[in-house]
A and B are shown apart, each in its own frame.
Chain A
Amino acid sequence: MAFSPGVLLYAFVGCLVGTLVGMLPGIGPLAGISILLPVTFGLDATRAIVMLAGIYYGSQYGGSTTSILMRIPGEAASVMTCIDGYAMAKKGRAGAALSIAAVGSFVAGTFGVIMLTLVAPPMANFALRFGPPEYTALLVLGLVFLAYMSSTSLVRTLLMASIGLLLGCIGIDVMTGHFRYSFDIKELGDGIGIVPVAVGLFGIGEILSTPASAVTEKVVPPRLRELLPTRTEWRQSAMPIVRGSLLGFSVGIVPGSAHIIASFLSYAVEKRLSRTPEEFGKGAVAGVAGPESANNAASTGAFAPMLALGLPTGPVTAVLMAALLIHGVPPGPMLVSEHPDVFWGFIASMYVGNLVLLALNLPLVGLFVSVLRIPYAYLYPLIIMFCIIGVYEVNHSIIDVWIMLTMGVAGYLLRKFDFDPAPLVLGLVIAPIFELSLRQSLIMSNGNWLIFVQRPIAQGLLAVCAVLLGLAALSPLFKRRDWRAKLAEVEAGEASS
């Protein structure tokens, strides 16, 4: 089943669409997956998740093309590749930079899948010991981790997450049947869907923040004759690829915008370890190989907690989780035993997907570049049309489309006021599981809050939360600028450029 032509075809389609999504400004992997979610309704769960995941890791590949050729990160994780990738392109080494990015992504992606194969089943076995208190503690840890790792402040992230949790409370209360904040609109009885919120915040919000006049269409054309890197370039990229793969997977399994953080950390590590740090920013090969490898390994790593624990580590895995739920497959510890076809089909497709991406990205780079020449004035109306179709088709509800539009305006305003919308989406996704686990825990303990510290696993998870919150509280006392401050600077620079 996993290697059947049908599944592989959808892996191919997902990778192709993902590459385009990663390249085009104004449409990231989250909006891409959300818009195409309705297209998967006619498919079985395996094919659906294989295609949607292909879009996700394909977008990590695609983002590198615009970063190297245009100095425009098609999606946020490619910000670091812009620096040295574009510098290499200006030196006439665009082909070599693209090759190193593609090979690094392939190696890291494959390493990530091998690690996922090894890590996810034991992680799922361990999670079988989880009851409601452990799940409550795990979800709290997920939110605290997200806030701790975020480049914006802890308070801003937790504020966004609490707004997401509140939005997740809209609709019928599953335990008592009460209608909450539905204002007699029957469509709101089922709650607010993640797709309209995600597409609105990330798709429409991005479009509203990007006037067509601000998008440049200048491309440094790659010299395909020089596609193969030199022996020196290969040697310079080997260890950064290895380090990026290890670092990326490790960061990927932690909640937060893992692929963005991983690429930034990898760049910092490579610059620190380099014998010629002054070359960074001027076309250092390691500055392309490391971050590109790290963001791909992180994208794969993010699937481990999603598949094994049912815990989304970021908005993209949250939408993928929603996609699995729509197809009647709940992710979590029982996924491997109850839906082995979905789990192993997904893993197998990723092995193939990485090969497909390597085959797609190098020979077809000229074709992809021509797509970039579509003027943004024509591109964004097209994206808006797909957003409307995508959101409407989920439930055939016009209310969902209005929610998308409202969230688009909210996304625009959040960007203006320097709020990251990602924690809001995460809060929305975990709200139903969090509320159910919390209330079940309290009912189990007859209202005794100590249940969360009397059970060893929950106690351990909450202890980690306390340590992270403690570290965050202490950080203003130490004025040392860590990587989060630097990441915020880079993101601010990207936003203003």
Chain B
Amino acid sequence: MRVQIRTDHAAGGAIVAAGALVLALSADLPFGTLASPGAGMLPTAVTVLMMAFAVILVLRAAQSPPLADIDWSDVRHAARVVGVMGLAVAFYISLGFVPTMVLLLFVLTYAIERRPLLPAVLFSVGVTLIAYLLFNILLKAPLPRGVFWY
């Protein structure tokens, strides 16, 4: 008989695996005793509890929809946004606030959302400059300066 994989099978299984990894990482933490609990007591107890809930989820997975029913039509868009954000975060400190944000906004609006070039450029530059003035000048919140010093 072919078993249909359901969303809770996948979610529960992933959480059990993550719990096992956390337990392995917790091995060097002292558990202590009940009268003198150590640093490892709560994390271990919570991980065991988490794995127990995940096992219940797997056991009751028949109530959840099939894994294949999840609508992933937006995943490409989400992956592109995450990728662009990841690059922006990676260069945020070294490049500085202004260049990073101009590039981030421009790539998101022009390359990902396919907005016209001129509005995308004006939006990216204008919004970044307003944010720079608001945070760095008005609110005195220091923003990363990077190699270009702004």
* Residues of chain A at the chain B interface (Cβ within 8 Å): 38-39, 41-42, 155-156, 158-159, 162-163, 165-166, 169, 173, 175-176, 178, 180-181, 204, 207-209, 211-212, 214, 375, 377-378, 380-382, 384-386, 388-389, 392-393, 396, 398, 401-402, 405, 408-409, 412, 416-419, 434-435, 438-439, 442-443, 446-449
Q: Is the interface of B mostly helix, strand, loop or mixed?
A: helix
- Within 8 Å by CB of A384, from B57, B60, B77, B85, lies B85
Inter-chain CA distance A375–B113, complex, in Å, is 11
Shortest Cβ distance from A169 into B: residue: B43
Contact status A166-B38, CB under 8 Å: no
Whether A396 pairs with B142 at a CB distance below 8 angstroms is yes
Contact present for B57 and A155 (CB under 8 Å): yes
* Distance between A397 CB and nearest chain B CB, rounded to angstroms: 10
Q: Verify B93–A384 contact, CB threshold 8 A.
A: no
Contact indicator per residue, chain B 49-72, by CB within 8 Å of chain A (1) or not (0): 110011011001000100000101
Asked if B43 contacts A377 (CB within 8 A), the reply is no
What is the interface residue range for chain B against chain A? 35 or more
Q: Shortest CB–CB separation between residue B9 and chain A, in angstroms?
A: 11
A439 touching B47 by the CB < 8 A rule? no
A159 x B123 contact (CB < 8 A): no
Across the interface, A162 reaches (CB within 8 A) one of B41, B49, B88, B104, namely B49
Cα distance A147–B128 when bound, in Å?
A: 42
Q: Is the CB of A385 within 8 A of B127?
A: yes
Contacting residue for B135 out of A163, A393, A412, CB 8 A: A393
Contact A162 B139 (CB under 8 A): no
Q: Are B82 and A38 in contact (CB under 8 A)?
A: no
Contact present for A159 and B34 (CB under 8 Å): no
Are A447 and B41 within 8 A (Cβ)? no
| B141 close to A (CB within 8 Å) | yes
Given contacts A169-B46, A181-B25, A396-B142, A412 and B78 within 8 Å (CB-CB): yes
Q: Please tell me if the beta carbons of A388 and B139 are within 8 angstroms of each other in the complex.
A: no
Q: Is the CB of B108 within 8 A of A384?
A: yes
- Given A442-B35, A449-B34, does the pair A405, B113 have CB atoms closer than 8 Å? no
Q: Quick one: CB contact mask for B80-116 with A, threshold 8 Å, 1 for yes?
A: 0110011011001100000001001100110001010
Contact between chains at A208 and B139 (CB < 8 Å): no
Contact present for B46 and A178 (CB under 8 Å): no
- A417→B82 contact, CB < 8 A: no
Q: Are B37 and A443 in contact (CB under 8 A)?
A: yes
Structural contact, A166 and B141, CB atoms closer than 8 A: no
B85 partner residues in chain A, CB cutoff 8 A: 204, 384, 388, 405, 408
Q: Is B5 an interface residue (CB 8 A)?
A: no
